[in-house]
Amino acid sequence: MRIAIVGAGGVGGYFGSRLIASGEDVTFIARGAHLDAILESGLRLESPKGDLHLRDVRATSDPATVGTVDAVLLTVKMYDLESAAASLRPLIGDHTVVVTLQNGVEAVDIVAAHVGRGHVAGGVAYVAAVIAGPGVIRHTSMDTLIFGELDGRPSARLSELEAVCLEAGFNARVTDAIEIDLWAKFARLSVFSGMTAVTRSTMGVLRGDPELFAMLKAACEETIAVGRARGIRLPESVMSEIVQMVLSLPPHAKASMLEDLERGKRLELPWLSGAVVRLGKDSGVPTPIHTFIATVLKPHVNGA
């Protein structure tokens, strides 16, 4: 399968490394020092599932040099999504699928405006991975992709993508309810990101303090309430599933937004807690905890 990965950060770098190691035809669209290091020395992956050093990795800053592909894994941050989506056209053939793997619940519409809804599938990534340095990806936990057609119908293109992902050694599944999966992750990540960032603390600290753990769960309830008010049929089990996930994470786990905050980088805050607040106002749902998180972190949203 011919795959382009737009964004070679933690998410794209991790899943792309596994796909390359299994023999798939993968090209990274990257930039800056990270791209330079990949072209010069290859891509290194540090992972509890096994380290890799991939040499002769195909990577470029210009999608126009790649040609059409079968699938695009779009893994850039939300603040880069508009410009990345505008650059995708040279990659798009008649049957190309672009899988949006952004945080939040607003990526599909942004990308569809540039390539058409028929070329877009929604996607969810559960992975803890960051760029540890130019050309180096550090993976610490989780490695699952979930993706689905926007109309919920099965498709050969996503079935093929699922198969190559499983062959590459990470979890993947096609869903017939991607909107629910997107909101289920949003309920998790908006809180995981906001709470670890606003407290500058790991998950072990948050779940070890009764007041912080109660605040985390209340923030989850806010996001779930916003989703249901907007017609998303989130299952009754979603809250217990979130709590179980929080309890199962390594104590040192922290969200990528806290990693970005510590490094003085831009934050995806407007599309996480900020989006909960904005969508909550539109739906008449109060969101006091996410309002607190979004307000306190606002001075850092554009980085150092």
What is the end-to-end Cα distance of the chain in Å, rounded?
40
Picking from 148, 177, 165, the residue whose alpha carbon sits closest to that of residue 24 is 165
Q: Are residues 121 and 93 in the same domain?
A: yes
Do 151 and 205 fall into the same domain? no
Residues 99 and 116 in one domain: yes
Mean pLDDT of 9-17: 97
pLDDT more than 90, % of the chain: 94
104 and 56 belong to one structural domain: yes
Give the pLDDT of residue 27. 98
- CATH, residue 69: 3.40.50.720
Mean pLDDT of 127-146: 94
Q: Are residues 111 and 40 in the same domain?
A: yes
Q: Where are the beta strands (DSSP E) in the chain?
A: 2-6, 25-29, 43-46, 52-54, 58-60, 69-74, 92-100, 120-133, 136-149, 171-174
Which of 121, 118, 86 is CA-nearest to residue 102? 121
Regarding whether 236 and 170 lie in a shared domain, the answer is no
- The string of pLDDT tens digits covering residues 151-201 is 999 999 999 999 999 999 999 999 999 999 999 999 999 999 999 999 999
Q: State the pLDDT confidence band at 253, using cuts at 50, 70 and 90.
A: confident
Q: What is the pLDDT of residues 55-91, one digit of tens each?
A: 999 999 999 999 999 999 999 999 999 999 999 999 9
User: Which pLDDT does position 165 carry in this prediction?
Assistant: 98
Confidence class for position 254, pLDDT limits 50, 70, 90: confident
**What value does the mean pLDDT take over residues 112-126?**
97
- Looking at the structure, tell me whether residues 50 and 154 fall in a common domain: yes
Residue range of the domain that includes 237: 180-300
Q: Are residues 37 and 152 in the same domain?
A: yes
Q: What is the pLDDT of residue 304?
A: 85
Residues 87 and 150 in one domain: yes
Q: Are 120 and 182 in contact (CB under 8 A)?
A: no
Last residue of a domain, one of 154, 176, 198: 176
Domain-terminating residue out of 141, 176, 211: 176
Residues 166 and 208 in one domain: no
Give me the active site residues, please.
Answer: 185
CATH number, domain containing residue 214 = 1.10.1040.10
Task: Quote the number of domains for the chain.
Answer: 2
Residues 61, 77 share a domain: yes
Asked whether residue 249 carries a pLDDT value surpassing 90, the answer given is no
pLDDT at 295 over 90: yes
Distance CA 87, CA 76 (A): 12
| Residues 109-136, mean pLDDT to the nearest whole number | 96
The average confidence (pLDDT) of the chain is 96
- 10 plus 116 within the same structural domain: yes
Domain boundary (176, 197, 217) is at 176
Among 152-161, 207-216, 252-261, the range scoring the smallest mean pLDDT is: 252-261
299 pLDDT tier (thresholds 50, 70, 90)? very high
Q: Is the pLDDT of residue 270 over 90?
A: yes
